[in-house]
Chain A
Amino acid sequence: MSLHIFFLMTLLTAIAFQLGRMRAFRIAVRSGGLRKLHSLPRHYGSYTALRFAVPAFILAGLVTLFADDIAMHLVWDNLPEQLRTLPEEQAKLMRQVIIHTSGNQSPPGNNASTIIRAGWQLKQLITIILRLGWTGALLLGTLSAGLFLRKIDCTLPARLAMEKFMRWILAACTGVVIFTTFAILASVAVETVHFFQFVSPLEFFFGHTWSPQMAMHTGQVGASGHFGALPVIGGTLMITLIAMLIAVPTGLFTAIYFSEYASSRRRHVLKPILETLAGIPTVVYGFFAVFTVGPLIGRLGLLFDVETSTESALAAGVVIGIMIIPYISSLSDDAIHAVPKRLREGSRGLGATRSETILQVVLPAAMPGIIGSLLLALSRAAGETMIVVMAAGLAGNFSFNPLKSATTITVQMANLVGGAGTFNTPSTLAAFALGLLLFLFTLTVNIIALHIVRRYHARYQEGM
């Protein structure tokens, strides 16, 4: 949508508001005061504005979105027979060329080729369609607002109409969110099914060799990659586990310190500092893993005479753990802080010490919030890519030895899809299967957590 049209329509919306309001005022005056009106004048104004804006913007938006396609369709139908019947691949290319030539500034000469003329046609058509569409949008909006304006009288319930509209808009937004989620999921699932036509699910779920890269060289003899996902799943679980082992105790203890022990001044100073940790780009953490944690693990390995490698799941896990501490500490602190003070006083009043109070009264009461924070941290850890690439390497390793290199689902996905132009080789399709796997993993964890929270609520929180 061109900027001019956008501003014009916004302006008209404002005018519609004023018109609706004025008309409501005038009618009110005529029939003896504002109290005679069903709703306030601004309600009438708002509703008039909506009556203009909703159809106008929707139509203009649709036209802008689809003008190119419609025009191309028309142009294509006018092409000579032998061009229209080209095979799909070439037709696609041809359309690209037409679109490209439509950028020409001057009209084609009489003896220009069909393609160049088609390009010019396309350009003209698009302009016409856009102009028609925008004019139509303005007319439609004006018509709808005008009809409403005429209808305004004392009894028209504009306030209720506004309420209804608000509800409608909110529901529509929710619908979009849900639709998007399901659409993504469906497309991933479809591609996964596609993938399983190349690779058997049995191999994918139970195979323990992951070397999809070999399949890239399609010319190679017998070049079918191995798509056993176990090393990838194992690596993900291992790194997530290490990260959570680091982050959960540290984060929780920090949260408890903040909310129960630190003076309020200290809390206000320290908490934002810790929260900035969450804003550091993961590449920086990756460097930290490579240059600090990795060598440290190596030195510790020497000390205890254990074999280590420069790339290890442990280094990645530890650094991811550090990265997600602020999520746990900050959100858990909020949850703990929200526990009513009178519960603490009740416990202290019975002679419980501070730590007894925290363990037995405060933490259980804050548990739903704490579990929420753990969930968020967990999905961050399981989805982390950059740190793993830098610190743990790319090679899948079916060993569950945290001192060896490891790989995770997201790393492999980035690795498989990165730079790929087409999505029909098994190795790129594998990315979708992995994605679905990660989704199912997070979904399972979420369901379990939800279940725990529900049980807590049912058991403890009733009426709180």
Chain B
Amino acid sequence: MDNNTPGTSSFPTISSAGDDPGLEMLQHNDRQTCGTPFLDDPLISCREIEVFYGEQCALHKMSLDIGHREVLAIIGPSGCGKSTFLRCLNRMNDSIEECTVQGEITLDGVNIYDKNVDVVPLRTRVGMVFQKPNPFPKSIYDNIAYGPRIHGLAASRSELDEIVTSSLQNAGLWDEVKDRLTSTAMALSSGQQQRLCIARTLAVEPEVILMDEPCSGLDPIATTKVETLINNLSECYSIILVTHAIEQASRVSQRTAFFHQGFLVEVGPTARIFTTPESRLTENYITARLT
């Protein structure tokens, strides 16, 4: 890539550097991603995707693979496009009127932005957990049963019961709620609510789970529980975890991607990113965060 000459640069100006330690490095260096964005046998692969909100470009051409049963952490300062990227992967961006996505995202080799693709089965395969716990104002049971009911996953009541039970067990919530499945989910603590939302996602048997800062509103103990849960889930699911706390990335992920102002700056095995980052931007961000 040699489109880095002054004048053609589409980088924003740097007047508002603020507390962001990476900003002064922006001018040189690269839209070229450092590290290893590509995998041999990817589950999801993104090629040259670009996202616009109206005129404003939120993600610049980026390519990235996501493997089977791995935890990919996405870190970066707020506003850098982490959520935007995540919402591309199950087409949640569709519901934003002025949002356009270009490029190609394939799931098992099928372009999910193809005209013929139905978002319903896509979203059952790629589930999502949001930043703020958002249980439905229904009973705990109905929250979990919501997805299976909509997609007709259970043929009988007992099958549904089984799905609910196993989802709650897998989310590590079963022991806490097994006696009050019929009471409202709104009365749970926010940590429990977040695990309920994870259980709700598990109930439709996804292959990929997108998590957008799932612990940002939780206390340390609840956070630990969710992290343990993510660790356990990674045996069966691919998980993409957006996180603000980079210690969390180092604890639970196998690979880490660093986003900055809409660019994928660097991606690689978590251990390497945290010890010997190639990009100065990454290094600055991580050292500033860790100290």
Q: Report A-chain residues with C-beta under 8 Å of the C-beta of B178.
A: none
* B150 within 8 Å of A (CB atoms): yes
* A459 within 8 Å of B (CB atoms): yes
Chain B CB within 10 A, most for which of A263, A348, A464: A348
- In the assembled complex, the Cα of A263 lies from the Cα of B98 at a distance in Å of 11
- In the assembled complex, the Cα of A349 lies from the Cα of B147 at a distance in Å of 10
Q: Report B-chain residues with C-beta under 8 Å of the C-beta of A462.
A: 184, 186-187
Contact of A364 among B138, B151, B200 (CB under 8 A): B138
Q: Which of A230-238, A353-361, A423-431 contacts B (4 or more CB under 8 A)?
A: A353-361
- In the assembled complex, the Cα of A343 lies from the Cα of B128 at a distance in Å of 13
- Flag B40-61 by CB within 8 Å of A: 1 or 0 each: 0000000000000000000000
Q: Which of B104-112, B116-124, B220-228, B240-248 contacts A (4 or more CB under 8 A)?
A: B116-124
Q: Report B-chain residues with C-beta under 8 Å of the C-beta of A361.
A: 136-137, 146
Q: Report A-chain residues with C-beta under 8 Å of the C-beta of B136.
A: 343, 346-347, 360-361, 365
Chain B residue at smallest Cβ distance from A456: B137
Chain B CB within 10 A, most for which of A340, A356, A364, A463: A463
- Contact at B130–A351, with CB atoms within 8 Å? no
Residues A351 and B184 in contact in the complex (CB < 8 Å), given A346-B130, A364-B137:
no
Write the nearest CB–CB distance from B22 to chain A, whole angstroms. Answer: 30
* B204 within 8 Å of A (CB atoms): yes
- Contact at A345–B147, with CB atoms within 8 Å? no
Q: Report B-chain residues with C-beta under 8 Å of the C-beta of A167.
A: none
Contact of A351 among B95, B151, B197 (CB under 8 A): B151
* B201 within 8 Å of A (CB atoms): yes
Residues A351 and B124 in contact in the complex (CB < 8 Å), given A345-B130, A345-B134, A346-B130:
yes
- Contact at A350–B130, with CB atoms within 8 Å? no
Contact of B201 among A350, A360, A463, A464 (CB under 8 A): A350
* A78 within 8 Å of B (CB atoms): no
- Flag B126-145 by CB within 8 Å of A: 1 or 0 each: 01101010111111000000
- Contact at B147–A351, with CB atoms within 8 Å? yes
- Flag B230-250 by CB within 8 Å of A: 1 or 0 each: 000000000000000000000
- Contact at A463–B187, with CB atoms within 8 Å? yes
Chain A residue at smallest Cβ distance from B119: A351
Residues A353 and B120 in contact in the complex (CB < 8 Å), given A347-B146, A348-B95, A463-B186:
yes
* A461 within 8 Å of B (CB atoms): yes
Chain B residue at smallest Cβ distance from A349: B128
- In the assembled complex, the Cα of A459 lies from the Cα of B134 at a distance in Å of 16
Residues A349 and B137 in contact in the complex (CB < 8 Å), given A460-B184, A462-B184, A462-B187:
no
Chain B residue at smallest Cβ distance from A354: B95
Chain A residue at smallest Cβ distance from B94: A348
- In the assembled complex, the Cα of A351 lies from the Cα of B122 at a distance in Å of 8
Q: Report A-chain residues with C-beta under 8 Å of the C-beta of B128.
A: 345, 349
Q: Report B-chain residues with C-beta under 8 Å of the C-beta of A353.
A: 120
Write the nearest CB–CB distance from A460 to chain B, whole angstroms. Answer: 4
Q: Report B-chain residues with C-beta under 8 Å of the C-beta of A151.
A: none
- In the assembled complex, the Cα of A360 lies from the Cα of B137 at a distance in Å of 10
* A342 within 8 Å of B (CB atoms): yes
Q: Report B-chain residues with C-beta under 8 Å of the C-beta of A461.
A: 137, 184, 186
Write the nearest CB–CB distance from A53 to chain B, whole angstroms. Answer: 48
- Contact at A342–B150, with CB atoms within 8 Å? no
* B288 within 8 Å of A (CB atoms): no
Residue total for A at the interface (Cβ-Cβ under 8 A):
24
- In the assembled complex, the Cα of A461 lies from the Cα of B185 at a distance in Å of 9
Residues A351 and B138 in contact in the complex (CB < 8 Å), given A342-B132, A464-B186:
no
Chain B residue at smallest Cβ distance from A461: B137
- Contact at A343–B134, with CB atoms within 8 Å? yes
- Contact at B204–A350, with CB atoms within 8 Å? yes
Chain B CB within 10 A, most for which of A340, A349, A462, A464: A349
- Flag B173-184 by CB within 8 Å of A: 1 or 0 each: 000000000001
Q: Report B-chain residues with C-beta under 8 Å of the C-beta of A263.
A: 97
Write the nearest CB–CB distance from A99 to chain B, whole angstroms. Answer: 65
* A278 within 8 Å of B (CB atoms): no
Q: Report A-chain residues with C-beta under 8 Å of the C-beta of B84.
A: none
* A185 within 8 Å of B (CB atoms): no
- Contact at A350–B200, with CB atoms within 8 Å? yes
- In the assembled complex, the Cα of A463 lies from the Cα of B187 at a distance in Å of 6
- Contact at B137–A352, with CB atoms within 8 Å? no
- In the assembled complex, the Cα of A343 lies from the Cα of B193 at a distance in Å of 13
- Contact at B147–A342, with CB atoms within 8 Å? no
> In A30-71, which residues have CB < 8 Å from any B CB?
none
Q: Report B-chain residues with C-beta under 8 Å of the C-beta of A342.
A: 130, 132, 134
> In B151-196, which residues have CB < 8 Å from any A CB?
151, 184, 186-187
Contact of A460 among B120, B137, B151 (CB under 8 A): B137
- Flag A426-464 by CB within 8 Å of B: 1 or 0 each: 000000000000000000000000000000000111111
* B90 within 8 Å of A (CB atoms): yes
Chain A residue at smallest Cβ distance from B193: A463
- In the assembled complex, the Cα of A345 lies from the Cα of B136 at a distance in Å of 11
Q: Report A-chain residues with C-beta under 8 Å of the C-beta of B134.
A: 340, 342-343, 345-346
Write the nearest CB–CB distance from B222 to chain A, whole angstroms. Answer: 16
- In the assembled complex, the Cα of A340 lies from the Cα of B135 at a distance in Å of 11
- In the assembled complex, the Cα of A360 lies from the Cα of B147 at a distance in Å of 11
- Contact at B137–A350, with CB atoms within 8 Å? no
Q: Report B-chain residues with C-beta under 8 Å of the C-beta of A365.
A: 136-137
- Contact at A351–B92, with CB atoms within 8 Å? no
Q: Report B-chain residues with C-beta under 8 Å of the C-beta of A459.
A: 139, 184
Contact of A350 among B139, B147, B186 (CB under 8 A): B147
- Contact at A349–B130, with CB atoms within 8 Å? yes
Write the nearest CB–CB distance from A420 to chain B, whole angstroms. Answer: 53
Write the nearest CB–CB distance from B217 to chain A, whole angstroms. Answer: 12
Write the nearest CB–CB distance from A266 to chain B, whole angstroms. Answer: 12
Chain A residue at smallest Cβ distance from B204: A350
Q: Report A-chain residues with C-beta under 8 Å of the C-beta of B147.
A: 350-352
Q: Report B-chain residues with C-beta under 8 Å of the C-beta of A346.
A: 130, 134-136, 197, 200
- List 8 additional contacts besides A340-B134, A352-B146; criterion CB under 8 Å: A263-B97, A342-B130, A343-B134, A345-B128, A349-B201, A350-B146, A350-B147, A461-B137
Question: Which 7 pairs across A and B sit closest by C-beta, in order of nearness?
Answer: A460-B137, A351-B123, A349-B128, A342-B134, A346-B134, A350-B147, A462-B186
